[in-house]
Amino acid sequence: MTDAATVKPMGAGPRVRSAPAAWTLWLARRLGLAVLTLWLTSVLVFLATTALGDPVKAILGKSAETSPARAEQIRAQLNLDDSIFERYAHWLGGLLTGDLGTSVANQQPVSELLGDRVINSGVLVLIAAVVMIPIAFGVALICANARGRRTDQAIQLVLLTLAGLPEFVIGILLVAVFSTTLLHILPAVTISAGGESPWQNPASMILPVATLVLAVAPYIIRIVRSTLLEVLDSDYVELARLKGVPERVVLRKHALLNAIVPGIQVIALQLAWLAGGVVIVEYLFSYPGVGASLVDSVRNSDIPMVQALAMIIAAVYVVVNLVADVLSILFTPRARTAIGS
Amino acid sequence: MNGLSRRDVLRLGAYAAAGATGLGSLTACGAVPPKPDPNAPQKRGGVLSHGATGGGLKDTLDPHSPVTNPDIARCRNLYEPLLAWDEDYKIQPALAKAVTPNKDATVWTVELRDDVVFHNGKTMTADDVLSTLARVADPKAPTSGGVELSGILDLKNARARGPYVVELPLSSPYAVLDQLLAEYTVGIIPADFDVANPVGTGAFKYDTFQPGLQSSFLRHDDYWGDPAWVDELLIFDFADDSAKVNALLAGQVQSVDNLPSYLVDSISDQGSSALISETGAWVPFTMRVDVAPFKDNRVRQALRLIADRQQMIDQALNGYGFLGNDLYSPFDPAYAKDLPQREQDLDKAKSLLKQAGQSDLQVELVTSTAVGAGGVESANLFVDHAREAGVDVRLTKADPNTFYGERYLSWPFAQDFWNTRNYIPQVAVCAQKGATYNETHFDDPDFNDLIATARQETDEAKRNQLLQDAQEIEYDTGGYIIWGFKRQVDGYSNLVQGFVPHRYMPCTSFEFRRVSFV
């Protein structure tokens, strides 16, 4: 995942490529790996969703006995009479052409059912990221600046406590404080009349976003803080200090820049986790996103929906990591030159 | 739109809190609305929001095949059957003024009201009733509410006798057809019904619908009965209990069904009230009477004596239940309430097992969260009770798909769940020969005869006697352990009034037309 770290200066490499060509090659290799990862995921997802016994029984449950017509319809819809290879080829072909199939529970196209929900979850994670990143770097800077002092210790205690709390506990506490028990100033859930998107009622987004930020930020802050401290202890920062550069400038100009790469990596990991992990937050706030519909679809044994959602979440993982790697390389002079030279 | 809108209600909570903080207090305790005066007159207007439990992409607006809990709530407000169950689970006229059998219960006559108007402005007539019944009780593909009807109705010979009278001949005599026609799954729809534009006769008409999320409805101004107080009704799906309750406490919805019973006390401190109703819903243990060791009635009797019923009610249902006596349909006028209440008797259970040669009985009990609240909990308690009687019960928790999968109806010892039904319709689905969901494989010739005779008996006193005789057979030799019936617990905001306990369905049977803002 952290390709940036593995890219080493190529010492006595005999061949010398032009910088753009080298970049293209690197990107192509990285994209190729991403596609390979997704293809392997598709095989795993397909096997996992088809190896679980007779889907017709799973879908119809108590009424499988009494509705043979419906059973027959599902068999046809899932192509259950074809061989497993034919079914996989059919499914993969659909994926590649943007046809995600038809929901068994609802008889509507999966893409139609998921479109809004993918956007909703994306917006939630995006807002959380936009709020979280400056806060995380800011708090990490404050901590590093006050290393070992009372402010730092107090913040570390809060962060460790937050990191130890499951996100649903954080969410329930926030709701109790701001919506139900103590104060009544924010909506407790994101429901809205007329099928508006949740962000059209911004007040209802505050608590879900706050929950995600509080659940994820502690990890990022702690990693950025420790990187900052590492840099602050290094010889070249010592040299800068000796030359008379003020501590504040040292922190901002030297340490922060060096902490960006590990920061990007951990943010990427956390964002990728959010793509699949928002489910608890979505449940708690009745937020119409992908996490909640994944649970619903698993419960309904709605195989086309589960397959599509699994692939969407896998794609988010792959893309977020790819972007993080590119950014990491751009921010690491050594790695940048290694590819370019 | 006049009156209190949903947004206003939210704001009400907001400024109450702001007022409290403005006075220097951090809490909004003084701001929660008190319980309304029950004698205050109801008033018109506002948007009522209801939080429904569950739902998902399976949601539908089909009047005759509701799948999820929110479906049922929608169904109850869009469509209406010919007859209706009232608060006491007694049948009352609805779209029909009367539904009466001939002397031998082979032909039933339905007299319709002449002032019922569909949401699209069309007047309901006999043709609509006939086409509805043809859809519900289609012999080839009956809907969920029509399985029993399709076996009895002789639809080919059914006919309209005038615009407001329908004659329904039966293929076999059936004395309680009215009970089947009062079910919410037999809502009357116009002959040209299309589920994409759902038209019914209910107090609310369709506006919007998003499966798994929400739906909205407007007041039906030409409603034949007392029209709704509120202008608009919103029904939101809630996959999560805490989200549902938080929405109630924050004022975003005014009612929720299936409030977790441990919250009854705490919501009353926060401006909401619990609505508690008796129901005939049961979560039985099911013993197959045709396989060992349950084939021996002494074993079944022993296991029935092992259960500590009161403890199951107190712990598995948090006290929200009442005693069962291995019989179902407690609200049926024929319910055999005179049979002695069975109680835990470990000594008698042990001696019965000894007689049966099963002193070291070991059995597997299969349960699942799919049977609903009280299921797994009562199964755990049963394991403890059985241990005291020297019976080794191994508990297997199956996931819902497995539990209701291929082996459903063939588990030797398991659980299931049933909702409120009267005796004859219930027997038809669970206890008589050929019943679809006969988990216990009960098939007693005397019992089957009594039921067959009772189905044709139009004299209620005589019929009740036959049914009590049938219940005595089940009481003595049946395969169910029915330890109790659930009470229904719902919640509503003190900003609304009109909710009353109702035996048929949650939240005053989802009759939201009766609810108004304070």
Q: What is the CATH number of the domain that holds B171?
A: 3.90.76.10
How far is C-alpha B133 from the geometric centre of its chain's CA atoms?
Answer: 22
- The answer to whether residue B191 sits within a structural domain is no
CATH code (residue B493):
3.40.190.10
B240/A284 Cβ within 8 A: yes
Alpha-carbon gap: B453 to the closest alpha carbon of chain A (Å): 27
Question: Testing the interface with B: which of A179, A180, A287, A302 to mutate, by most B Cβ within 10 A?
Answer: A180
Of B141, B213, B242, the CB nearest to A288: B213
B211/A293 Cβ within 8 A: no
The four Cα atoms A327, A329, A333, A334 give a dihedral, to 10 degrees, of 160
**Best CA proximity match to B402, nearest among B368, B440, B364:** B368
- Positive or negative, the CA dihedral A327, A328, A331, A335 is negative
CATH code (residue B467):
3.10.105.10
| Residues in chain A closer than 8 A to B418 (CB atoms) | none
As a whole number of angstroms, the distance between CA B444 and CA A192 comes to 54
B58 and chain A: CB distance < 8 Å anywhere? yes
Record the pTM. Answer: 0.84
**Best CA proximity match to B189, nearest among B125, B146, B260, B232:** B125
**Best CA proximity match to B176, nearest among B418, B426, B433, B443:** B426
A193/B234 Cβ within 8 A: yes
B247/A286 Cβ within 8 A: yes
Alpha-carbon gap: A140 to the closest alpha carbon of chain B (Å): 31
Q: What is residue B473's predicted lDDT score, i.e. its pLDDT? A: 96
- The answer to whether residue B193 sits within a structural domain is no
Q: Name the domain count of chain B.
A: 3
- The answer to whether residue B151 sits within a structural domain is yes
Residue A251 DSSP code: I
CA distance to A61, A312, B64, B141, B415, per residue, from A67 (Å): 11, 33, 15, 8, 23
A296/B239 Cβ within 8 A: yes
B405 and chain A: CB distance < 8 Å anywhere? yes
Structure tokens at B287: 């013993």
pLDDT above 90: residue B355: yes
- The most confident of A199-208, A301-310, B186-195, B404-413, by mean pLDDT: B186-195
Write the pLDDT tens digit of every residue in A7-34.
Answer: 444 444 455 567 778 888 888 888 999 9
| Residues in chain B closer than 8 A to A100 (CB atoms) | none
Q: What is residue A19's predicted lDDT score, i.e. its pLDDT? A: 75
Name the pairing type of β-strands B165-169 and B204-210.
unpaired
Q: What is residue B25's predicted lDDT score, i.e. its pLDDT? A: 34
Asked whether residue B87 falls in the same domain as residue B19, the answer is: no
Lowest mean pLDDT among A50-54, A308-312, B47-51, B402-406: A50-54
B208/A296 Cβ within 8 A: no
Q: What is residue B31's predicted lDDT score, i.e. its pLDDT? A: 58
- The answer to whether residue B239 sits within a structural domain is yes
Q: Across all residues in chain B, what is the average pLDDT?
A: 89
Alpha-carbon gap: B405 to the closest alpha carbon of chain A (Å): 5
- The answer to whether residue B158 sits within a structural domain is yes
**Prediction ipTM score:** 0.80
Q: Which residue has the tokens 């080829």?
A: A89
Alpha-carbon gap: A22 to the closest alpha carbon of chain B (Å): 49
Of B31, B243, B401, the CB nearest to A189: B243
Asked whether residue B320 falls in the same domain as residue B370, the answer is: yes
Asked whether residue B414 falls in the same domain as residue B337, the answer is: yes
Of B31, B208, B250, the CB nearest to A187: B250
Which residue type sits at A337? T
B18 and chain A: CB distance < 8 Å anywhere? yes
A62/B437 Cβ within 8 A: yes
pLDDT range class, residue B485, cuts 50, 70, 90? very high
Write the pLDDT tens digit of every residue in A139-191.
Answer: 988 888 888 888 889 999 999 998 888 888 999 999 999 988 888 888 889 88
A175/B214 Cβ within 8 A: no
pLDDT range class, residue B231, cuts 50, 70, 90? very high
Question: Testing the interface with B: which of A191, A281, A282 to mutate, by most B Cβ within 10 A?
Answer: A191
pLDDT above 50: residue B321: yes
Asked whether residue B65 falls in the same domain as residue B99, the answer is: no
Asked whether residue B391 falls in the same domain as residue B509, the answer is: no
Alpha-carbon gap: B131 to the closest alpha carbon of chain A (Å): 22
How far is C-alpha B404 from the geometric centre of its chain's CA atoms?
Answer: 19
pLDDT above 80: residue B336: yes
A105/B240 Cβ within 8 A: no
pLDDT above 60: residue B6: no
- The answer to whether residue B1 sits within a structural domain is no
A283/B57 Cβ within 8 A: no
B28/A184 Cβ within 8 A: yes
Phi, psi values for residue B396, rounded to 5°: -115, 120
Q: What is residue A340's predicted lDDT score, i.e. its pLDDT? A: 62
As a whole number of angstroms, the distance between CA A292 and CA B213 comes to 11
Asked whether residue B155 falls in the same domain as residue B170, the answer is: yes
HSE toward the beta carbon, residue B332, CA cutoff 13 A: 26
- Positive or negative, the CA dihedral B180, B182, B183, B185 is positive
Question: Testing the interface with A: which of B27, B233, B252 to mutate, by most A Cβ within 10 A?
Answer: B252
Asked whether residue B382 falls in the same domain as residue B416, the answer is: yes
B247 and chain A: CB distance < 8 Å anywhere? yes
Write the pLDDT tens digit of every residue in B502-517.
Answer: 999 999 999 999 999 9
B408 and chain A: CB distance < 8 Å anywhere? yes
Structure tokens at B176: 């309680």
**Best CA proximity match to B344, nearest among B316, B297, B308, B378:** B308
- The answer to whether residue B25 sits within a structural domain is yes
B47/A184 Cβ within 8 A: no
Q: Across all residues in chain A, what is the average pLDDT?
A: 82
Interface of B with A in 145-204 (CB under 8 A): 147
The four Cα atoms A213, A215, A217, A220 give a dihedral, to 10 degrees, of -140
Asked whether residue B253 falls in the same domain as residue B107, the answer is: no
| Residues in chain B closer than 8 A to A69 (CB atoms) | 141
A191/B247 Cβ within 8 A: yes
Which residue, of B161, B186, B211, is where some domain finishes?
Answer: B186
Q: What is residue A7's predicted lDDT score, i.e. its pLDDT? A: 46
Q: Cβ atoms within 10 A of the Cβ of A330, count?
A: 14
Beta carbons within 8 Å of B358's beta carbon, 6+ residues apart: B293, B296, B298, B299, B302
Q: What is residue A339's predicted lDDT score, i.e. its pLDDT? A: 67
The secondary structure element, H or E, covering residue B365 is strand B362-367
Q: What is residue A16's predicted lDDT score, i.e. its pLDDT? A: 57
Asked whether residue B438 falls in the same domain as residue B362, the answer is: yes
A187/B14 Cβ within 8 A: no
B57/A297 Cβ within 8 A: yes
Asked whether residue B54 falls in the same domain as residue B159, the answer is: no
Per-residue pLDDT averaged across B138-149, rounded? 81
Helix (H, G, I), strand (E, B) or coil at A110: helix
| Residues in chain B closer than 8 A to A58 (CB atoms) | 401, 405
Write the pLDDT tens digit of every residue in A321-330.
Answer: 888 888 888 8
The secondary structure element, H or E, covering residue A171 is helix A167-175
**Best CA proximity match to A117, nearest among B499, B212, B225:** B212
Name the closest residue on chain A to residue B439, using Cα atoms.
A62
Asked whether residue B364 falls in the same domain as residue B463, the answer is: yes
pLDDT range class, residue B228, cuts 50, 70, 90? very high
| Residues in chain B closer than 8 A to A286 (CB atoms) | 236-240, 243-244, 247
Per-residue pLDDT averaged across B351-372, rounded? 91
| Residues in chain B closer than 8 A to A182 (CB atoms) | 26-28
- The answer to whether residue B227 sits within a structural domain is yes
Domain hosting residue B96, numbered range: 83-186
pLDDT range class, residue A112, cuts 50, 70, 90? confident
Asked whether residue B414 falls in the same domain as residue B512, the answer is: no
Beta carbons within 8 Å of B350's beta carbon, 6+ residues apart: B302, B359, B389, B390
| Residues in chain B closer than 8 A to A300 (CB atoms) | 56-58
Q: Cβ atoms within 10 A of the Cβ of A29, count?
A: 11
Of A182, A186, A297, the CB nearest to B27: A182
Overall size of chain A counted in residues: 341
CA distance to A236, A255, B66, per residue, from A232 (Å): 9, 6, 65
| Residues in chain A closer than 8 A to B240 (CB atoms) | 283-284, 286
Lowest mean pLDDT among A62-66, A71-75, A224-228, B487-491: A62-66
pLDDT above 70: residue B22: no
Q: What percent of chain A has pLDDT over 70?
A: 88
B210 and chain A: CB distance < 8 Å anywhere? yes
Secondary structure string (H, E, C) spanning B230-254: CCEEEEEEECCHHHHHHHHHCCCCC
